[in-house]
Structure 1
Amino acid sequence: MGYGIRLRVWGEYACFTRPEMKVERVSYDVITPSAARGILEAIHWKPAIRWVIDRIHVVNPICFENIRRNEVESKASVKKASIYVTEERQQRASMVLKNVEYIIEAHFEMTEQRGAEDTPEKHYNVFLRRARQGQCFHRPYLGCREFQAHFELLEGGLVSYENVHPGVKDLGYMLLDQVFHVDTKGVTKEVVPHFFRARMVDSVIEVPKLEER
């Protein structure tokens, strides 16, 4: 296992969309490991390292709220560089989470793209410095970009918090991560999602590795 970190993240709203919902957005009960990894990568990521989520602590009670949001029907692309919001606006309902807070335990592993100057100590210290100062490459978000995430590095001993979900709760199948398969030119050819059966025991979710799911 590489160098481990603990990061507290929180926000007013979050939406970790279930892929089986095609039109309306419905969130998973808690943050997905994939979304948690995205928050860490927003603070510090390089091709030389790969973040691995070990466990997720659910600090606040799980609370859903129905909201309606304006969205556009299409996405910007090379063929469609301009989008006219007034013509393509659609109002959709979303089932989102409210007042979320998590503690993410994770570590990073070195990849085959590491260089001679890439050492675990270097990247570990860079992450600590950036997290302590609240720095990030882009603002991390909780599932959707409009739901910004606040974060705080946790250092020192164990962090005590109320066990708001005692016992065992089966959260069903949840997105673990996505694996991108690229060709020899570095172009993505296929994106393969991987799922796992998530169980929350006394507010803690143990996250398996991709090869252990």
Structure 2
Amino acid sequence: MSYGIKLRVWGDYALFSRPELKVERVSYDVMTPSAARGILEAIYWKPAIRWVIDRIHVMNPIRFENIRRNEMANRVSVNKKDMEGDRPVCRYIEDDRQQRASLVLRNVEYIIEAHFEFTSDDDRNEGKHLDMFKRRAQKGQCFHRPYFGCREFPVSFEWCDEVPQSPFEDERDFGFMLHDIDFENDRTPRFFRAIMKNGIIDCAQEVVS
């Protein structure tokens, strides 16, 4: 049995990076299910449940914008020798800054339809979890500020009872899109064919590794 919710999310910018383009970041046309799950977990997460994304409603026209962002050129390398010594484990941005172009989404709004499933026999009180998520969403509470792909693109959110009409009245095929990461199977990425019909993307499709 599953227990469903609806959440309206919006923001000025979004960047759902395509994994095949690594240096210059390019966003997918719409939000990925994994990004939607991250938003829900930022609002309410418990070990007893896991969020499953059912549908994503695209409420605003899809618009892209080119921007330049400061990024780190390299990752911070940490090894046992660094941890045991007195040298601080850090990297100074002034010594490692790079400006990179990003193709981001502008003025986005989505409605996330999702449900949660129980991961164990403990804490199986569906009414409690639903009420806690709804209360937190209505009050704007979250464990950390959710974001659209990158932390500099914060998400505004609110509880949603009814899904309004989407402006899209056609069918669009966005090709293969990242669905989620299978953390129980060596962090294997899983993809699905993202097809939007009348502004709705059905995320409960067959996924491939």
Q: TM-score if structure 1 supplies the norm length?
A: 0.89
Q: For 1:108-166, what per-residue CA distance to the aligned partner results, in whole angstroms no more than 9, with x for missing partners?
A: 00012x42x441111111111111110000000001111000000012xx3323x3222
Aligned equivalents of 1:125, 1:6: Cα separation in 2: 13
| Letter in structure 1 aligned against 2:98 | Q
Aligned to 2:126: 120
Return the match for 2:137 from 131, 142, 151.
Answer: 131
Q: Does 1:111 align with 2:114?
A: no
Aligned to 1:38: 38
Task: List gaps (5 residues or longer) in structure 2.
Answer: 83-88
Structure 1 segments, 4+ long, off by >3 Å, are 76-80
Aligned-residue CA RMSD (Å): 1.4
Once the 2 structures are TM-superposed, how far is the Cα of residue 77 of structure 1 from its aligned partner? Answer: 4.9
Aligned to 1:186: none
Q: Does 1:93 align with 2:101?
A: yes
Q: Does 1:160 align with 2:168?
A: no
Aligned to 1:140: 146
Return the match for 2:91 from 62, 83, 107.
Answer: 83
Aligned equivalents of 1:120, 1:111: Cα separation in 2: 12
Q: For 1:184-211, what per-residue CA distance to the aligned partner results, in whole angstroms no more than 9, with x for missing partners?
A: xxxxxx21000000100011101125xx
Aligned equivalents of 1:111, 1:43: Cα separation in 2: 18
Task: List gaps (5 residues or longer) in structure 1.
Answer: 183-189
Q: For 1:27-62, what per-residue CA distance to the aligned partner results, in whole angstroms no more than 9, with x for missing partners?
A: 000000000000000000111101000101000000
Aligned to 1:10: 10
Aligned to 2:61: 61
| Greater share of strand | 1
Once the 2 structures are TM-superposed, how far is the Cα of residue 3 of structure 1 from its aligned partner? Answer: 1.2
Aligned equivalents of 1:109, 1:27: Cα separation in 2: 29
* CA contact 2:55–2:112 (8 Å) conserved in 1: yes
Amino-acid identity (%) = 60
Return the match for 1:199 from 176, 195, 201.
Answer: 195
Q: TM-score if structure 2 supplies the norm length?
A: 0.91
Aligned residue pair count = 199
Q: Does 1:181 align with 2:208?
A: no
Aligned equivalents of 1:150, 1:159: Cα separation in 2: 17
Aligned equivalents of 2:44, 2:198: Cα separation in 1: 30
Aligned to 2:71: 71
Aligned equivalents of 1:132, 1:77: Cα separation in 2: 41
| Letter in structure 1 aligned against 2:142 | C
Partner-residue secondary structure (3-state), 1:126: helix
| Letter in structure 2 aligned against 1:166 | E
